[in-house]
Structure 1
């Protein structure tokens, strides 16, 4: 990526994930073909056509594993689903649009407020989109890292993929960009 575009890229991408904060106080609804609960280890496994809904947040996957630590912090891992990808969709804070994402595996940690998307990772917000093999988002700092290699690495060589971003211009008058 051209280093002159990096500040613009970071600004645009950081504005894409302002999820609806009220969702955290809403009840969670889960549907699955099978649920396994291990209260002793505080592990819940949801398998088969899983749909997780909390307020405007919807996660669809083949399998979701949720663990909870002694302080009540939860971590979740969603894998598989339609076309082999786990997917999420959530309304953005104070707006009438949504952020959507998909990957082979999506991990979220409530303690650190970090989300990671592994393999075929893509996030869309309005007409903006970013994709790569790995996307990490820190909800506290509102910073993204997108790489072309697995787990945050940068792949090199002729067969290395590229990170891709589509960033729409901001119009001064607030009008939507031409499509």
Structure 2
């Protein structure tokens, strides 16, 4: 499975990718933040160092917010965390994280989300849709059966299959025009311009 770097070049290639600029995709500072989980119930296994949260689960770690119906969270001997989040039938797990030093967010949904803290990987599995938002406007979107983020190397993979949310079961990418290509005028250098339309969610 080829890996694609988050960069402006990805947009030019029009590959199954989210086009991003050179800064880190996820807020690296989030890794040093404490993990807070709210849920309707908790079952903790001290021997296995595993916590199972159920019912309106909301995990917060810095700018990272994960919402699901069930979350199994474990920690290894070195303190790295691993999580498996799932949603009830007909629903999706939702993840949102801010890109460090920008007004951009990465948002993703899937029936199942797996997090590997040691390797800084987030796997969106089954009906996966991942978007990049700039000032709450959708910039890029990729759909597939599975989309995997590598937060450390700023790379990802996307694959199609029977659980892809596309009619042809293939990976699909939507890349919005920006700046002069979109409006005929240069985009602002920094910050968010006043919004005149609806924000993309």
Q: Assess, with a 3 A threshold, how the Cα gap between structure 1 residues 11 and 82 changes in structure 2: closer, same or farther.
A: closer
Alignment equivalent of 1:76, drawn from 50, 59, 83? 83
- Mapping 1:1-179, distance limit 5 Å: 8-9=13-14, 13=18, 15=20, 18-80=25-87, 83-126=90-133, 127=138, 128-149=140-161, 160-171=168-179, 173-175=186-188
Question: How many residues are matched?
Answer: 168
CA distance in 1: counterparts of 2:27 and 2:89, whole angstroms: 25
CA distance in 2: counterparts of 1:110 and 1:46, whole angstroms: 18
Q: Which has the higher contact order (CA 8 A, sep 6+)?
A: 2
Asked whether the equivalents of residues 102 and 121 of structure 1 are also in contact (C-alpha less than 8 Å), the reply is: yes
CA distance in 1: counterparts of 2:91 and 2:16, whole angstroms: 31
Cα offsets for 1:33-91 (capped at 9, x unmatched): 11111111111111111011122211100001111112211111110059421101111
Asked whether the equivalents of residues 115 and 136 of structure 1 are also in contact (C-alpha less than 8 Å), the reply is: yes
Which consecutive unaligned segments of at least 5 residues does structure 2 have? Answer: 1-9, 181-185
Q: Assess, with a 3 A threshold, how the Cα gap between structure 1 residues 72 and 148 changes in structure 2: closer, same or farther.
A: same
Which consecutive unaligned segments of at least 5 residues does structure 1 have? Answer: none
Asked whether the equivalents of residues 11 and 175 of structure 2 are also in contact (C-alpha less than 8 Å), the reply is: no
User: Counterpart of 1:41 in 2: which secondary structure?
Assistant: coil
CA distance in 2: counterparts of 1:108 and 1:19, whole angstroms: 13
- Runs of 4+ residues over 6 Å off in structure 1: none
Q: CA RMSD in A?
A: 2.9
Report the Cα offset of residue 137 of structure 1.
Answer: 1.6
Report the Cα offset of residue 24 of structure 1.
Answer: 2.2
